[in-house]
Structure 1
């Protein structure tokens, strides 16, 4: 995390970026993080998060959710919802260490009154890797 903060500091021409770690597997920790951010920052320009890894064994969190759901979906959603007023002019950047590893390729189409006229949004050749080139 220190290296990322250093890069942000350099890109921000010396402005000191805030950085906080939190356990997104516990929704009480997510709410505490939101309270801390709301009491510390009048405006949030960028909220960057990295999705957690899938649980290696099936288990439940203290909140009763499946252990992969809370840190990767519920926690980030709850945090962005709690901070939505401060993020109005900002950006949310979510990343993952292994994007699309288990995803199935699907061609999305633009919405149109005439579906046959809607070109695909995604033109990757069938069978191409989702997390590669």
Structure 2
């Protein structure tokens, strides 16, 4: 599985408006139907379980161990290695997470919740075994 996290880290200022004509659908997609229309300039880096960009690091990613219902959790660390807890809303959510199988057979767009300690969690149902 590959995890792509889209978050507004940084100063507390109004988030930009979504592009004109944006229609946001969420859920499972497969194959070529994955086009979601986002063009926010997000660059995918790392192996989906750990990555650093712009002074922030995706860390401690935990996926469900087997197919079925489970929980995804992770941290976003700042450049001092501490959990980052100040985020800007993007399309009414603090965090957008995309979970994609490496063979592109399954795709999820979920919105986790952040605990006071900076841990993000969300229910995640894996349809089948694999990566």
TM-score class, shorter-chain normalisation, is: under 0.3
Q: Which has the higher strand share?
A: 2
Bigger radius of gyration, 1 or 2? 1
- What TM-score, normalized by structure 2, do the two folds share? 0.26
Larger helix proportion of the pair: 1
TM-score, normalised to structure 1, is 0.26
